[in-house]
Structure 1
Amino acid sequence: MAFPVVDSEYLKDVDKARRDLRALISSRNCAPIMLRLAYTSLSLPLSVSVCFPRKWHDAGTYDAKIKTGGPNGSIRNEEEYTHGSNNGLKKAIDFCEEVKSKHPRITYADLYQLAGVIAVEVTGGPTIDFVPGRKDSKISPKEGLLPDAKQGAPHLRDIFYRMGLSDQDVVALSGGHTLGRAHPERSGFDGPWTKEPLKFDNSYFVELLKGESEGLLKLPTDMTLLDDPQFRHFVELYAKDEDAFFRDYAESHKKLSELGFAPRSSGSKAIVKDNTILTQSAFGVAVAAAVVILGYFYEVRHRIK
Structure 2
Amino acid sequence: MTFDWQGVFPALTTKFTTDDTLDLPAFERNLQAQIEAGVDGIILGGSLGEASTLTQPERETLVRHAVKKISGKIPVVLNISEASTKEGIKVAESAADLGASGLMLLPPMRYKADDRETVAFFKAIAQSTTLPIMIYNNPVDYKIETTPDMFEELLELDNIQAVKESTRDVTNVTRLRNRFGDRLKILCGVDTLAMEELVMGADGWVAGLVCAFPRETVAIYRLTKAGRLDEAREVFRWFLPLCELDLHPKLVQYIKLAEVHAGIGTEHVRAPRLSLVGEERERVEQIIKKGLAARPELPDYSSL
What band does the TM-score fall into relative to the shorter chain? under 0.3
TM-score by length of 2: 0.27
Bigger relative CO (Cα 8 Å, ≥ 6 apart): 1
TM-score by length of 1: 0.26
Larger Rg: 1
